[in-house]
Chains A and B, each alone.
Chain A
Amino acid sequence: GQQVMQIPQYQHVQEGEDFTTYCNSSTTLSNIQWYKQRPGGHPVFLIQLVKSGEVKKQKRLTFQFGEAKKNSSLHITATQTTDVGTYFCAGQRGANNLFFGTGTRLTVIP
């Protein structure tokens, strides 16, 4: 079956440091999405990338979609305590199913 792996599984950073999580798929994706899940909450959509090599920014967050549409990354510049949570990528192959990555749990130390 389709697999979407994320690394690292956990990341502890000092407030103000940068953070990056990487997502890799075993198959080519039609699009990739990123979600954030706060502790005790449900995943909330952040962004969708569709085009090969696409880069999108949301304030301190930068999202990239690989040229082969099999990998993606999320980079947070100068982390804040409000960035705490688990970040998931989710890939689609076709228009229906949506497979989530294993997630990266970010802890920000004040």
Chain B
Amino acid sequence: SQTIHQWPATLVQPVGSPLSLECTVEGTSNPNLYWYRQAAGRGLQLLFYSVGIGQISSEVPQNLSASRPQDRQFILSSKKLLLSDSGFYLCAWSGATGLFEAFFGQGTRLTVV
């Protein structure tokens, strides 16, 4: 069966520090991968999606970047965090054909102080 791992679960980082959140998927090949951010009590904002290794589409200009070094690995990064980067970050995967149901990781709650 397919599983998705996202870590860490919580993170407190000072302003100006770097960020690296990792997400890995097991049990499927060539998934579509997504990074979303959810501000407190708000909706899900699509940050990046990827349809294959090295292929990243950015949906909003921001202080963040994403990379997909392997088929089932998706990394969200920042060189210098801002206070506004605080939020709940969710990684998700879906199949590339047929039912496009998205499966979410447990999320990372990031607080920038």
Residues in A lying within 8 Å of B, measured CB to CB:
1, 6, 31, 33, 35, 42-45, 48, 88, 90, 92, 95-103, 105
Contact = CB atoms under 8 A, between A and B. Distances in A.
A88 B90 contact: no
Main DSSP-derived SS at the A contact region: strand
Given A42-B90, A97-B46, A105 B101 contact: no
A48 B101 contact: yes
12 contacts: A1-B59, A6-B43, A31-B100, A35-B102, A45-B101, A45-B103, A90-B102, A96-B32, A97-B49, A97-B59, A100-B36, A102-B42
A105 B38 CA distance: 14
Main DSSP-derived SS at the B contact region: strand
B57 A97 contact: yes
A48 B46 contact: no
Contacts of B92: 98
A90 B43 CA distance: 11
Interface of B: 32, 34, 36, 41-46, 49, 51, 57, 59, 90, 92, 94, 96-97, 99-107
Nearest to B95: A95
A44 B42 CA distance: 16
B104 A98 contact: no
A67 to B, nearest CB: 21
B76 to A, nearest CB: 15
A99 to B, nearest CB: 6
B43 A101 contact: yes
B43 A33 contact: no
